[in-house]
Structure 1
Amino acid sequence: MKKIFSLVLVSALGGAITLGAYKLFLEPENKVQITTADSNPAFLPASNVNNLFKNAEDAPDFTIAAENAVNAVVHVKNVSISSGQMTFEDFFFGRSPQRTQMGTGSGVIINADGYIITNNHVINNSDQLSVTLNNNKTYEAEIVGTDPKTDIALLKIDAEEELPYVTFADSDQARIGEWVLAVGNPFNLTSTVTAGIISAKARDLSGKSTQSFIQTDAAVNPGNSGGALVNTNGELIGINTAISSQTGSYIGYSFAVPSNIARRVIEDIMEYGNVQNGILGISGGALNSEVSEELGVNDTEGIYVASVVEDSGAEKAGIKEGDIIKEIDQIKVSKFSDLTGHIGARRVNDVVELKISRDGEIKNVKVTLTRNETLTLPLVGRVKNAKKEDLKPLKADNGIKIIELNKEYEAYWKKNGVEEGSIITSINDVKIHSVEDAQQAIKNRSSYEPLRIELINTKGEKERYNFR
């Protein structure tokens, strides 16, 4: 035992001597460099906050909003019957095989009487529609009206009791960074709630400045379409409509029709039976440094007015080509979808106030929205309803007026004597009296059928064109 103790003691003593020798003779000298105040060090702003919420009570509480929204969001089932593949036996016996297809989505109850708002694509081509509430009761649903342009549809069910519903919020007041909840029925599950923030507003996915979505990072998957996007008060600020995905499932961003647009659409359907779209009556685009330099203007923000539609509210209010729209109803506009989104929540004869810049001078102009009487025809360009004074000089009994030729085919048309002011009288052998007639004629044309246009040019000459 004494021998072991002696060995341990000698080992410890040897290690201490070795460490001391290293420190004294071998370790390099570390010099401390002192920076004085005269050295002008660079200071960068920093934060020592390492928690999103300091206390648990600072975190947003979604429970009440979720509870209210879940009870007002429904499951929508769409059953459609289409022609199946015909077999030899079917052909022999003269049978027409049918195939049943089922689609699902979500909907939002908007009043106690059973009116439900959803997406048009959820109920499109349906033969049978049913709605299942959060209490598992199922009802047959009827379509009150639809608007494919905004992808909004209104349904109605007859329930035995008053139903829970959500109230509309003002989507114009929704702010980027605000917490939101997405409520729907993805993957045929019962109502599901996901949370996120508003990532952006006035998003246009079409590239044609015709859409104005609220973008959010709340998870939205197939089956969520037609569901509710609500704020932390449980108020409706949007109808979930689309996702940005390469796989068909959620990967980061989803898009909702703003509640102001959805509300205006369903109010029009309930009051008029169709949607009363009001237009400002201008065409143009958003400014940036490159566009401003090309146009020779100093502003780099706003909407540049490239043209004004004849007889529109904008023309009557004195809006001119070259004007730059900076605001609409005190809301700043930096892209065209800002403008179309705000107009989309208004209807015919509503008055909006524009702040415009003209030759560097700021003006406030009130514009009364008018009914859309224009249409962009394939290959031709923009047309509008013709007035008697447009038809009479050309001795036309009916027709629509060309107001702007398609840029790609403009040289072809002018080479053949067709200019702005020419009157289109027939499309595919259908007499045309209005842009609605023209739109229907284009819609009814089959994909393999050529486009046949009869018109009277500005010289009063009747001509016929066929396009394949």
Structure 2
Amino acid sequence: MIRKSRVVLLVLAAVAAGVLLTAGFNVSPIARALLGDKEKPALIPAAAGLRMVPVDIPQLFKEVSPAVVNISTTQLMKFNHPQMRNPFGRQDPFDEFFNNFFGRMPKEQKRRSLGSGFIVSPDGYILTNNHVVEKADEVTVTLLDKEEFKAKVVGTDPKIDIALIKIETKKKLAYVALGDSDKLEVGEWVVAIGNPFGLGHTVTAGIVGAKGRIIGSGPYDDFIQTDASINPGNSGGPLFNLKGDVVGINTAIIQGGQGIGFATPIQLAKSVLDQLKDKGKVTRGWLGVYIQALTPETAESLGISGRRGALVSDVTSGGPAEKAGIRSGDVIVRFNGKEIGDEHELPQAVASTKPGKTVEVRLLRGGKETTVAVTIAEMGGELGKPAGGHDLSKNLGLTVQEITPEIAQRFDIENTKGVIVSGVEDGSPAEDAGFNVGDIIRQIDRRPVSNIAEFTKSAAKFKAGKTTLFLVERGEARILLTVKNK
């Protein structure tokens, strides 16, 4: 009996100590929920006992929803019904027939769309998506209390789909704090608030499924993926963490996908916010390079180990990169102190650099590292032209021909040096490498190709089992293709 009593006392003491430790020091989420601790969002187990769900979302919604707005836009669409004339210049009888039966068709029609946004300052500045207000003739903002305002578009940045608009009011408005999306973790709970399907303020919750998603929407793709429901009308609305800070701007969904939405990281928006407010547009840095992914085959051809970095397929004539000595085949592994893991990371690093600033760029060239200093220029509307520019190669499965004046005129080719691909054999090494009809071959193994004769001379050196590196021009882009010879 004595031993049993001691055991019971020890157990009770341990439980008491555990409660005290939990309450005073390392408080678990469950303990916080049970103890009523309101300092941090409490978590309690879901019914299945497998997933934890936040219980402070109602309070969070009450605190931040006054700063979330509904945005409706109107665009005036004009339709022209041309007058039809007969060969004698008189009005065609069919025109009268058309007007009699279809004359009541409107010549102008208003196109309306809906979206969301959030107030970022008490004087009425609002962040949203560019596609929400793009080409709108009229923008109306509705607050949570149903008060409406006409809004002015202050600035837009289509490259990252961001717009800054403003409403005028004498009262100070509720606004939200912009958080740090770089600190957002995969698996972290987030809350989306917006105006889906025009229904009004709606809140959904989920977790961050992934970061750095590339969905092909632009050169600076870096989306937060979340399973918090995002629907049409949510565009431009805020994505919150559980502290109530905005960490993203709800931007895109996948048609037919369930539980997959994408938000622009708020750090990306913060980096251009001042420019949008002061100038109405965004000025970005420009390096003047064409880049692509570094594949194992291309790395082997260049004598490079590993796959880190952005492969330079070509440089723009007269651009900062060419002036600094960067050339085709270089692999950029570090830019202005930032490690470049792949081709998606370089554009953002360059764009965020102030024009006129000189930065160090570390390259891999011929298997060796080298560093060059580059003075970044301002990105303009035109990025410039790349520098530089029937024979059948049975080993490649590639048919090429000279760039004649007729071909140059037909395909708007300014630099006629090189050969144009006129055929790609099915199942050939050329097809496997990604060649397309219309591609212009400018270099083979870094040696210029100006005509059929030079192409034939280079093709004669192809060896079975070896890889050949082609510099190809495709439209405005320059890409490197690696072909393994049979």
Instruction: Please give the range of the TM-score, normalised by the shorter of the 2 chains.
Output: 0.5 to 0.7
Residue 421 of structure 1 and its aligned partner are, at CA, apart by 10
Deviations 1:296-315 (A, max 9, x none): 42122221222233444444
The alignment yields a C-alpha RMSD, in angstroms, of 3.8
Residue 295 of structure 1 and its aligned partner are, at CA, apart by 4.4
Q: Is the 8 A contact 1:142 1:156 kept in 2?
A: yes
Instruction: Tell me whether 1:323 sits opposite 2:327 in the alignment.
Output: no
Cα separation, 2, equivalents of 1:287 and 1:262: 29
Instruction: Tell me whether 1:160 sits opposite 2:170 in the alignment.
Output: yes
Cα separation, 1, equivalents of 2:288 and 2:218: 16
Cα separation, 1, equivalents of 2:107 and 2:320: 53
Cα separation, 2, equivalents of 1:329 and 1:336: 15
User: 1:38-437, aligned counterparts within 5 Å?
Assistant: 57=33, 59=43, 63=57, 65-83=60-78, 88=98, 97-206=107-216, 209-246=219-256, 251-293=258-300, 295-328=302-335, 331-349=338-356, 354-362=361-369, 367-373=374-380, 375=382, 384=384, 403=387, 412=403, 420=415
Alpha carbons of structure 1 residues 93 and 177: separation in structure 2 relative to 1, 3 Å: closer
Aligned residues: 344
Alpha carbons of structure 1 residues 352 and 410: separation in structure 2 relative to 1, 3 Å: farther
Cα separation, 2, equivalents of 1:214 and 1:275: 22
Structure 2: 5+ residue stretches without partners: 1-27, 34-41, 44-53, 82-96, 390-398, 418-486
Cα separation, 1, equivalents of 2:98 and 2:288: 57
Letter in 1 for 2:198: N
Alpha carbons of structure 1 residues 315 and 70: separation in structure 2 relative to 1, 3 Å: farther
Letter in 1 for 2:77: S
Alpha carbons of structure 1 residues 125 and 67: separation in structure 2 relative to 1, 3 Å: same
User: 1:433 is matched with which residue?
Assistant: none
Letter in 1 for 2:174: P
Q: Is the 8 A contact 1:202 1:341 kept in 2?
A: no
Give the 3-state SS of the residue equivalent to 1:136 in structure 2: coil
Letter in 2 for 1:72: A
Deviations 1:273-319 (A, max 9, x none): 32212223222222243443454421222212222334444445554
Cα separation, 2, equivalents of 1:88 and 1:71: 52
Q: Is the 8 A contact 2:188 2:208 kept in 1?
A: yes
Alpha carbons of structure 1 residues 363 and 93: separation in structure 2 relative to 1, 3 Å: closer
Give the 3-state SS of the residue equivalent to 1:241 in structure 2: strand
Residue 219 of structure 1 and its aligned partner are, at CA, apart by 1.4
Cα separation, 2, equivalents of 1:178 and 1:291: 38
Structure 1: 5+ residue stretches without partners: 1-51, 376-382, 385-400, 423-468
Q: Is the 8 A contact 2:304 2:364 kept in 1?
A: no
Letter in 2 for 1:412: I
Alpha carbons of structure 1 residues 412 and 183: separation in structure 2 relative to 1, 3 Å: farther
Q: Is the 8 A contact 2:276 2:282 kept in 1?
A: yes
Cα separation, 1, equivalents of 2:200 and 2:252: 20
Structure number with bigger Rg: 1
Residue 207 of structure 1 and its aligned partner are, at CA, apart by 7.5
Letter in 2 for 1:177: G
Residue 98 of structure 1 and its aligned partner are, at CA, apart by 2.8
Letter in 1 for 2:76: I
Residue 55 of structure 1 and its aligned partner are, at CA, apart by 5.2
Letter in 2 for 1:370: A
Q: Is the 8 A contact 1:286 1:334 kept in 2?
A: no
User: 1:27 is matched with which residue?
Assistant: none
Letter in 2 for 1:163: L
Cα separation, 2, equivalents of 1:351 and 1:196: 43
The more displaced of 81-90 and 234-243 is: 81-90
Q: Is the 8 A contact 1:70 1:193 kept in 2?
A: no
Cα separation, 2, equivalents of 1:138 and 1:197: 33
Give the 3-state SS of the residue equivalent to 1:141 in structure 2: strand
Alpha carbons of structure 1 residues 166 and 209: separation in structure 2 relative to 1, 3 Å: same
Deviations 1:145-192 (A, max 9, x none): 222232222211012311122233343443433332222111222322
Cα separation, 2, equivalents of 1:252 and 1:92: 45
Tell me the TM-score normalized by structure 2. Answer: 0.60
Q: Is the 8 A contact 1:402 1:419 kept in 2?
A: no
Q: Is the 8 A contact 1:182 1:195 kept in 2?
A: yes
User: 2:5 is matched with which residue?
Assistant: none
Deviations 1:203-257 (A, max 9, x none): 33228745332322221100000111233332222221111123xxx61222222
Cα separation, 1, equivalents of 2:264 and 2:279: 21
Cα separation, 2, equivalents of 1:294 and 1:308: 19
Deviations 1:306-363 (A, max 9, x none): 2233444444555444332334466543332222234444443456665544444455
Cα separation, 1, equivalents of 2:239 and 2:381: 33
Q: Is the 8 A contact 1:279 1:372 kept in 2?
A: yes
Q: Is the 8 A contact 1:286 1:301 kept in 2?
A: no
Deviations 1:431-451 (A, max 9, x none): xxxxxxxxxxxxxxxxxxxxx
Q: Is the 8 A contact 1:203 1:212 kept in 2?
A: yes
Alpha carbons of structure 1 residues 340 and 148: separation in structure 2 relative to 1, 3 Å: same
Alpha carbons of structure 1 residues 374 and 128: separation in structure 2 relative to 1, 3 Å: closer
Cα separation, 2, equivalents of 1:182 and 1:217: 10
Cα separation, 2, equivalents of 1:353 and 1:177: 36
Letter in 2 for 1:198: V
